[in-house]
Amino acid sequence: MKEFLLKYGCNPNQNPARLYMESGKDLPFCVLNGRPGYINFLDALNAWQLVKELKTATGQVAATSFKHVSPTSASLGRPLGDRLKRACFVDDVTGLDDSPLACAYARARGTDRMSSFGDFIALSDPCDKVTAEVIAREVSDGVIAPGYEAEALEILRQKKKGAYAIVEIDPDYTPELTEKKQVFGVTFEQRRNDLMVTKESLTNVVTKRKDLPEEIKEDMIVALVTLKYTQSNSVCFAFDGQAIGVGAGQQSRIHCTRLAAQKADLWNLRQSEKVLNLPFLPDLARPEYNNVIDLYLSDTDSGDVLDDGRWQRCFTERPEPFLREEKDAYLSKKSGLTCASDAFFPFADNVYRANKSGVEYICQPGGSIRDGEVIAACDDLGILMLMTGQRLFHH
C-alpha cells in the first residue's frame, strides 16, 4: 500500500489528509479493519516503537496504552497477583495467566483507567485470543501489533460495531535515520532518536547507596523507554515491570513529578481492601465502576461520590469513607518504586516528592548546576540515584 487516505487530520476541518512514504515505498503497515484516523496513527506508530524497544531491551513481551500521543502506561508481561487482577478488572478472565501478552495489556490498561479510556493499544507480539478478549471488554479506538491469531482477529473485528481499528505492522521495518516534520510551513529535520536504553547504560550510580538489583534495572528500562515516547517534560514511576504513573507534558519538572506520583498513589490505593471491597451494584457498567472509584479516592476524606447521592446509583449500601489519614497510612507502607525523568532534576523538591510515594530508586540524565543538592537529598533519604547522561525529550 503506497498511500492511506484519512477521514481528516487532527480536526474535521483539516482535509484532505493522508499517510504516505516520501521515498515512494510501501507503507510499513496494513489496516485489517476499521479506518484509523490521523491521531490514531500518531498514537499507533509511537506506541509500536515503545513496545518493540521494551521487548528488545528486556526479552519480555510488552504492551502499552496510548492516548493523545503519550502512554498512559506500559508494562512487561508479568503475571498478576489476585489483588492486582481485581484492581485491573480482569480477575474473571479465563486463561489470563497463560498469556504474558494479555497480562501486559491488563497491567497497562489497569494503571490509569481514566486516561486509558478510548486508548490506542500496541502489542510487541502477535495478538492471541486471551489478549483480544481483554481488549474486547474495554472502550478503545484500536490496536497495532505484528500479527493476529485468527480467533483474536475475529474477536476484535466485532468491536465498535465492526469499525474497530486493527493495524498490522511489519516488525522488521526500520525507518530512515533522518526524520522531518513541518510546523507553520517550516520543515524541521533531525536525526531520528535511535538511542537504545539498555542495562549497560545504568551504571553511573552517584549516591552513597549502591545496591541496584536486576529487577530494579528492568523497572528503570520500563520507565526510561516509556519516557522516550512521552510528550515532554515528563516523569515516570515504575514498579514490578510496569509504568504506574506518567506525568506528561508539563512545563515544570516538579509538576511532572507531582502528577506521576499522584497517579502512582491512586494505582496503589486502588489495590487496598477498602476499594476492592466497595459494595458495587452487580450490573454497574465498567466505565462508571471506574469513575466512581476515582471519585471515591480523589476527595480529602471519602470522595464526592458519598456526598451528593450518586452512591445510591452505584452501591448496594453506602460505603465507609476512606479518610485522608487512612490513605496516608496505607501509602506510607509502599516502597521500592523507581522514578525516572526525561531531563535533569533542577531542584531537590522532585526527590522529596517522589520519596513520599515510596520511591527508592531514581534515574535521570544529570547535568544540572544543582546536581550536588539533588544527590545530597537522595543520600539524606537513603535513595539510590544514577545518572544516564541521556536526555529523552520527545515532541
Which residues are known catalytic residues?
67-68, 233, 395
Contacts 24+ apart (CB under 8 A), 172-178: 173/28, 176/23
Burial of 81 (0-12, 13-18, 19+ CB in 10 A): exposed
User: Are 105 and 71 within 8 A, CB to CB?
Assistant: no
Burial category of 66 from C-beta neighbours within 10 Å (exposed 0-12, middle 13-18, buried 19 and up): buried
Q: Which residues of 195-216 are buried (b: 16+ CB within 10 A; e: fewer)?
A: eebeeebbeebbbeeeebeeeb
Task: Enumerate residues 6+ apart whose C-beta is below 8 A from 225.
Answer: 50, 53, 54, 57, 74, 197
Residue 288 identity (one-letter amino acid): E
Is residue 64 a contact partner of residue 73, using CB atoms and an 8 Å limit? yes
Type and span of the H or E element at 57? helix 38-58
Query: Which 3 state secondary structure label does DSSP give 27?
Result: coil
Helix axes 349-356 and 253-269, enclosed angle (nearest 10): 0
Q: Grid coordinates in use for 61?
A: 513481551
Bridge-based pairing of strands 3-6 and 359-364 is unpaired
CA–CA separation, 325 vs 308, rounded Å?
Answer: 22
Q: Are the CB atoms for 307 and 330 separated by under 8 Å?
A: no
Computed over its alpha carbons, how large is the radius of gyration of the chain? Answer: 21
